[in-house]
Amino acid sequence: MPFIRLTKIERRRVLSLLACLALAIAAWFFMALNNKYIYNAKTVLVFKNSPTKRAFYPLQSDTVDLQVEGTGWQLLFARLRISPPSISINLSQLNSKDFIVCSDQLFSINQQVESAQKVISIKPDTLYFDFTKRVVKRVPIKLIQKIEFVKQYGIANEILLNPKFVKVAGPLEELNKITYWPTDTLKLNKVQSSSAIRVALQHSIHKNVSIYPSSVEVKLGVDEFTEKTLEVPLKIINNRNYNSIKLYPKKVKITFLVALSNFNQVDTDFLTAIVDADEWSKLHHNQLTVKLSEFPGYCKLVGISPAKVDFVVEK
């Protein structure tokens, strides 16, 4: 097939024709994207104005399908998503009835989305709810913490929470699952002084459960720790036959870390060291293991010397 040779003028005409064609396609594409189209988008429902005297369970998923009217640009770039990614549904009507008709709230819904988008319908349009009695329960607050201290520093006494309890309100079935309420994780680094910090409580993951208050004050008593050793007499437990058991030695040395502010306060009255006679009578051990039945929670055990003691049983 012979190669077609074009003159310089003909090449210009062909290029002009192609340029015009490209411009025409671009103009058509631009106009097409500016037109309105109907498409479907998924979104998450957020409930507001819940009834204060009625607890409820939604009987359907909190994700619904929206029929949205928008431009071709949105259809092309938004990937069929609604903006913002959730819409609020007013539940105030649940004070008098057991369902919500979403189409009755289209005006309010369209005020929440982008002006270029218009929600035409929602599927499902009617939301149904299962109602039960709403109750209130007090549960302890549990501090979730990740605290790193400067070397030789630590918590000198019990961490104080104010308040210690939180009120949870909701369906009895949900409240029976709740034994405590966690805080957000308190993260601190290089701590070497006492402080009071307000920490938020975790958001509810339970259906229709609310909490009060939403935050707690955490008081940290921080001090420098030093080592202390006390000699404590041993006590025998589980000597059911009242045998005469002699221990060698009769006392052990307990070494622990204690805050400087508590150094003089902690004495042998705060510590109880024991051995269990069952180790001999049931387990037939030839030595008894020393354990602590009482030890201050604000101290840190370093070691017990000796950790095992010899004994003689006189029958």
What is the per-residue pLDDT across 197-229, written as a single tens digit (0 to 9) for each?
999 999 888 767 888 899 999 999 999 999 999
Cα(37)–Cα(31) distance, rounded to whole angstroms?
Answer: 12
Task: Check residue 267 and give its pLDDT.
Answer: 92
Angstrom CA distances, 37 to 27, 68, 113, 118, 131, stand at 18, 8, 16, 10, 39
Show Cβ contacts of residue 176 under 8 Å, excluding neighbours closer than 6 positions: none
Task: Check residue 105 and give its pLDDT.
Answer: 86
Q: How confident is the model at residue 30 (pLDDT cuts 50, 70, 90)?
A: low
Q: Are strands 134-142 and 181-182 parallel, antiparallel or unpaired?
A: parallel
Q: Which pair of structure tokens corresponds to residue 9?
A: 């003028």
Cα(215)–Cα(202) distance, rounded to whole angstroms?
Answer: 9
CB 292 within 8 A of CB 272: yes
pLDDT tens digits, one per residue of 74-125 = 555 555 456 667 888 888 888 777 788 888 888 888 888 776 678 888 888 8
Task: Check residue 15 and give its pLDDT.
Answer: 74
Residue type, 94: L
Cα(291)–Cα(275) distance, rounded to whole angstroms?
Answer: 6
Q: How many residues does the chain have?
A: 315
Cα(197)–Cα(218) distance, rounded to whole angstroms?
Answer: 5
Q: How confident is the model at residue 295 (pLDDT cuts 50, 70, 90)?
A: very high
Average pLDDT over residues 45-54: 77
Task: Check residue 85 and give its pLDDT.
Answer: 77
Task: Check residue 274 and give its pLDDT.
Answer: 95
29, containing H or E segment: helix 8-34
Task: Check residue 76 and give its pLDDT.
Answer: 56
245 vs 161, more confident: 161
CB 112 within 8 A of CB 88: yes
pLDDT tens digits, one per residue of 264-286 = 989 999 999 999 999 988 888 89
58 vs 187, more confident: 187
If we measure between CA atoms, which residue out of 210, 158, 207, 208 comes closest to residue 181? Answer: 210
Show Cβ contacts of residue 74 under 8 Å, excluding neighbours closer than 6 positions: 114, 116, 117
Q: How confident is the model at residue 310 (pLDDT cuts 50, 70, 90)?
A: very high
Task: Check residue 271 and give its pLDDT.
Answer: 94
If we measure between CA atoms, which residue out of 229, 225, 222, 243 comes closest to residue 288? Answer: 243
* Whole-number average pLDDT of the chain: 83
Task: Check residue 113 and give its pLDDT.
Answer: 79
Task: Check residue 205 and give its pLDDT.
Answer: 80
Cα(204)–Cα(182) distance, rounded to whole angstroms?
Answer: 10
Cα(217)–Cα(238) distance, rounded to whole angstroms?
Answer: 44
205 vs 137, more confident: 137
For residue 207, give the 3-state DSSP assignment: coil
DSSP structure string for 149-171: EPTTEEE-SPPEEESSEEEEEEE
Q: How confident is the model at residue 297 (pLDDT cuts 50, 70, 90)?
A: confident
